[in-house]
Amino acid sequence: MSDQLPPPLNPPVRLLMGPGPSEIHPRVLRALAANTVGHLDPYYLALMNDMQGMLRTLFRTQNPMTMAISATGSAGMESTVVNLIEPGDSMIVCVNGVFGERMTDVAGRAGAAVTRVDRPWGEIFEPSHLKEALAKAKPKVVGIVMAETSTGALQPLEEISNIVHDAGALLLVDAVTALGGVPVEVDKLRIDAIYSGSQKCLSCPPGLSPASFSPAAVETILNRKTKVQSWYLDVGMLAKYWGQERVYHHTAPINMTYGLYEALRIILEEGQEPAFARHALNHKALKAGLAAIGIKYASNEAHTLPMLNAVHIPAGVDDMKVRGGLLNRFGIEIGGGLGAYKGKVWRVGLMGHGSRQVNVLSFLAALEQLLAEQAYGFEHGAAIAAANAVYLTHK
So what's the pLDDT on residue 1? 52
So what's the pLDDT on residue 228? 96
So what's the pLDDT on residue 95? 98
Residues in the chain where the model's pLDDT stays below 50: none
So what's the pLDDT on residue 2? 60
So what's the pLDDT on residue 246? 85
So what's the pLDDT on residue 300? 86
The structural domains of the chain, with segments of one domain joined by +, span: 26-268, 271-393
Share in percent of the chain as helix, strand, coil (round to 5): 45, 15, 40
Q: How far apart are CA 304 and CA 312, in angstroms?
A: 13
The 10 Å Cβ neighbour count of residue 328 is: 10
Tell me the per-residue pLDDT of 296-313, one tens digit each, with 9 for 90 and over: 999 988 999 999 999 999
Tell me the per-residue pLDDT of 375-386, one tens digit each, with 9 for 90 and over: 898 899 999 999
Residue 346, SS3 per DSSP: strand
So what's the pLDDT on residue 243? 84
Orientation angle between helical segments 272-292 and 357-373, nearest 10 degrees: 20
Orientation angle between helical segments 357-373 and 319-330, nearest 10 degrees: 130
Helices and strands of the chain, counted as H and E runs: 13, 14
- 26-268 maps to CATH 3.40.640.10: yes
Q: What is the pTM of this model?
A: 0.96
Q: List all residues 6 or more positions away from 68 whose beta carbon is below 8 Å from its beta carbon.
A: 51, 55, 198, 208, 209, 210, 211, 257, 260
Nearest-CA neighbor of 338 among 348, 347, 349?
Answer: 347
Indicate the CATH number for domain 271-393.
Answer: 3.90.1150.10
Judging by beta carbons within 10 Å of its beta carbon (0-12, 13-18, 19+), is residue 156 exposed, middle or buried? middle
